[in-house]
Structure 1
Amino acid sequence: MIKNKRKILFVRRGYLLLLTGILLGFVAFSAISMIYSSRRPQDSGMGMPTEIEFDFLYTSEKQGWIEQVTPKFEVWFKELFNISVNVRLIVTGTHDTVNRILDGSERPTVWSPASSIWISYMNTKWLNITGSVHDIAVDWTPLVLSPVVIAGWGSYLDEHNVTGFMDLYRLAKEGVDFKYGHPDPLLSNGGTMTVILEFAEAAGKKPEDLTIDDLKNETVIEIVRTIESKAIA
């Protein structure tokens, strides 16, 4: 049943939409305060504030690091600008951060998704939902390179010469019995990035060069579907 569900997954319109905003996988900070600034009270014109507070919406894989450095940032900011700053940390999954921003339940000043692939997705959804002509996620800076690798027993990889996703496709077509695991793409950033790389290899392109036509290409879909037929949760 799991395999059948995975096969259906790749032809659903909503899932393909998730893959339309393709960039290399980086952890990114994206300032989105400009979109919301018009909805917040403006400065009274009385000069510089003595205290400010802002919301920082980010994802759980960096929670320990963020919680450790935030107090240091607040002290540094106070010493440098003589302004007390209170950072309100809000942590959840990347897809949930997107949904919260789009439905207005969170209005963060800074958003840090698990990967920059979500920035184009966020902007596309924002433009479609609001009718705005301006992106919501702007001025983003990549911080960390997040590699995606294929790991397995060295003897097995050497025996079957597995160096990429197309080798998994080859083995599946040859009837070689193997299991392949990655997180759920609809729940995990790692799973999403893995499937993007599967599409990229199937199309013979870099991830950032993928197009909508590539994602609709029947040959590409067949390759990804075959690889995913070996996937387990």
Structure 2
Amino acid sequence: MRGRILIIGLALAAVAIAFVASRGGDPERPAREPAAKLPANALRVSLVYSPEKEPLLAPLIKRFNAEHHASGTHVVVVDASIIASGDAETRIAKGTLRPTLWSPASSFWGRLVNYEADRPLVADENPSIVRTPLVIAMWKRLADAYGYPKQPLGYAQLGELATGGWAAVGKPQFGSFKYVHTNPDFSTAGLSAVAASYYAAVGKKEGLTEADVARGRAQVQALERSIVHYGDTTLFIADEMRRRGLGYASAAAMEETTMIDFNRRAGDGERLVAVYPREGTFFSDNPLITLQGDWVSDEQRRAAQVFAAFLAREITPEVAGRRGFRPADPDVAPAGLVTAANGVDPKQPARTLRLPEPKVLAKIKATWRADRKPANVMMVFDSSGSMGEENKLEQAAEGLKGFFRQAAPQDRIGLIKFSDTITPLVAIAPMRTNRAPLLAATDTILPDNDTRVRDATLAGLDAVSAHLDRDAINAVVVLTDGDDTSSTHSAADVIAALEQQREKETGQIRVFTIAYGRDPNTDELAAYAKASGGQSYTGGADDIASIYRSISSFF
């Protein structure tokens, strides 16, 4: 029974897909150049690492492979893939992902692997590659208006701002305050932000207990209910802040290195300031873990040590600093981009929080899932004739049912199917009563005639608008496998409608699109997602279930 609740909750983080849109929306992809001809004595070592380290690690891995480093009689070749930390943790614990080396953003995830798998797959101590603290990235003009850093700002004040707006701190002229963080089941920043909120709620910086989680629950719940929306990676959130400015979010929890990159790319635009919470914050220590699973041979372990030694030599404080990271050694001063000119303070944070025990992390995650802001979603599903080819409809329907099964009881979800006609199957209602009708309705969907995706997208938008919940995350999820063939509306009509509703102060409806199969209209669907502030995906029958699970991370 140990860890079973955690297993269920983490399942929605198990993704293996390729996103279309932002650079932050690709939690699994190869991270190497097309393979050259390998030496006859090559020994492959698989490495999985978190997305924010790609600019640092990708060139080093390429050089390591080109230099033909030896382990015994073998030349070591590192095969790297980029997978979000929570996703990798779930799959390693379940045995569906078996790398030799793993570098999540935080040692959080190694503790969770051992807890969930109920066996020591990760050693207690692992060398750090680089470090970066979690910060609250706030627009500089808002931080100045608040009075930071002279006026300390922490999670208590963040809760006041997020729930009461600027009026709560005596500055009503600035209006509402929008806070964003990533999904803790998927992202290190999200998990760290929620854990730090619990520490702040009970006034601790170490030794958090399950009883403390219960004691601080009401305060953290109030903050979580104010969230604009969740997400898969902080890179996606940073891209949305860059694109939409203060209208998207007032502040977001993210790694310091991600915020530095934001400011470096801002040019003459609005910049962010790193707020180091007065109660303390976590460091993402980016461990390099050699897995202790039975799939890792002794030869691979020795080869992993060769690669680890290479990284230890090559990632000096200056190399780390050029990518916005701090050195692996906490006693060594930051270098490079970690400067006040980029919105950060090398002398902060003043307080560092200690990692909770795995059972406490599990409690935090389970409580977050119960208390998070609910979703209000219409699923729009293509049932055109082409969906009957290559088992596409059956696979997509299974992915859709997985989405329904994983939804929380407080979520409100409905279902529309479309071909040349648009058919509402289940109205939007809470999942505590709607789950069975949605699962049953999905089993009735059969392929039929043409594709009316534009009209169906607008029908989904209208359905959510009719049940708009200003205290929920409102969204439409559209899956289609081809071009529109019979809509009365144009693509421009759809984009105009999405852009119009995106400007709403509250109750914004985001559209998530899935370009499915071999020949979907990827560009048009991506434009719908971009216009609404959502995300676009592309995939086939083999990974459609993973795509639906990834979309779950936004709710």
TM-score bin, normalised by smaller chain: 0.5 to 0.7
What does the per-residue CA deviation read over 1:44-101, in whole Å, with 9 as the maximum and x for residues that have no partner? xxxxx94321111111111232221013223556268663111111221111111221
Taking a change above 3 Å as real, the CA distance of residues 78 and 197 of structure 1, as seen in their structure-2 partners, is: same
Alignment partner of 1:225 is 2:228: no
Tell me what 2:106 maps to. 115
Number of the residue aligned with 2:146: 157
State the match for 1:96 in structure 2.
87
Structure 1 residues 148 and 78: alpha-carbon distance in aligned structure 2, compared to 1, 3 A threshold: closer
Helix, strand or coil for the counterpart of 1:102? Answer: helix
* Residues in 2 aligned to 1:99 and 1:184: alpha-carbon distance in whole angstroms: 14
Could you say if the C-alpha distance between residues 92 and 163 of structure 1 is closer, same or farther in structure 2, counting changes exceeding 3 Å? same
Report the Cα distance in structure 2 between the residues aligned to 1:156 and 1:14, rounded to whole angstroms.
Answer: 41
The answer as to 2:156 corresponding to 1:166 is: yes
Q: Which runs of 5+ in 2 are unaligned?
A: 11-39, 169-175, 230-555
Match of 2:197 in 1: 198
| Residues 98 and 122 in structure 1, CA contact (< 8 A), matched pair in contact too | yes
User: Are the equivalent residues in 1 in contact too, given 2:199–2:208 (CA < 8 A)?
Assistant: yes
| TM-score, L = length of structure 1 | 0.66
Q: Does 2:122 align with 1:137?
A: yes
**What's the CA shift for 1:186?**
2.8
TM-score of the superposition, structure 2-length normalised? Answer: 0.30
Q: Give 5+ residue unaligned stretches, structure 1.
A: 1-12, 19-48
Number of residues of Structure 1 aligned to a counterpart in Structure 2: 181
Match of 1:214 in 2: 212
Q: 2:112 & 2:56 partners in 1: Cα distance?
A: 26
SS of structure 2 residue aligned to 1:148: strand
Contact 1:185 1:192 in 2 (8 A): yes
Q: CA deviation at 1:104?
A: 1.9
Residues 161-203 of structure 1: per-residue CA shift (max 9 Å, x gap): 4510011234547972432222232332211111111111112
Partner of 2:187: 188
Greater length-normalized contact order (CA 8 Å, ≥ 6 residues apart): 1
* Secondary structure in 1 matching 2:99: coil
Residue-by-residue CA offset, 1:109-165 (whole Å, 9 max, x unaligned): 1111111111111110011xxxx4xx1111411232221222241243229945100
Counterpart amino acid of residue 56 in structure 2:
W
Q: Do 1:116 and 1:142's aligned partners in 2 also have CA atoms closer than 8 Å?
A: no
For the 8 Å contact 1:94–1:113, the answer to whether it is kept is yes
Larger Rg: 2
Whole-angstrom CA distance in 1 between matches of 2:182 and 2:45: 32
Equivalent position of 2:57 in the other structure: 66
Worse overlay, 178-187 or 194-203: 178-187
Alignment-mate amino acid for residue 191 of structure 1: G
Q: Distance in 1 between matches of 2:220 and 2:152?
A: 16
Q: 1:186 to 1:105 in 2, by over 3 A?
A: closer
* 1:106 CA displacement: 2.0
Q: What secondary structure does 2:109 align onto?
A: helix
Cα distance in structure 2, aligned partners of 1:79 and 1:94: 29
Structure 2 vs 1, CA of residues 73 and 81 (structure 1 numbering), >3 Å: closer, same or farther? farther
Does the 8 Å CA contact 1:77/1:83 hold for their aligned counterparts? no
Greater helix share, 1 or 2?
A: 1
Q: For structure 1, which segment, 153-162 or 92-101, has the greater mean C-alpha deviation from structure 2 after superposition?
A: 153-162
* Residues 1:106 and 2:105 are matched in the alignment: no
Q: Quick one: structure 1 residues 136 and 88, their matched pair in 2 at CA, closer, same or farther if it must change by over 3 Å?
A: same
With over 3 angstroms needed to count, the CA separation of the structure-2 counterparts of 1:99 and 1:184, relative to structure 1, is closer
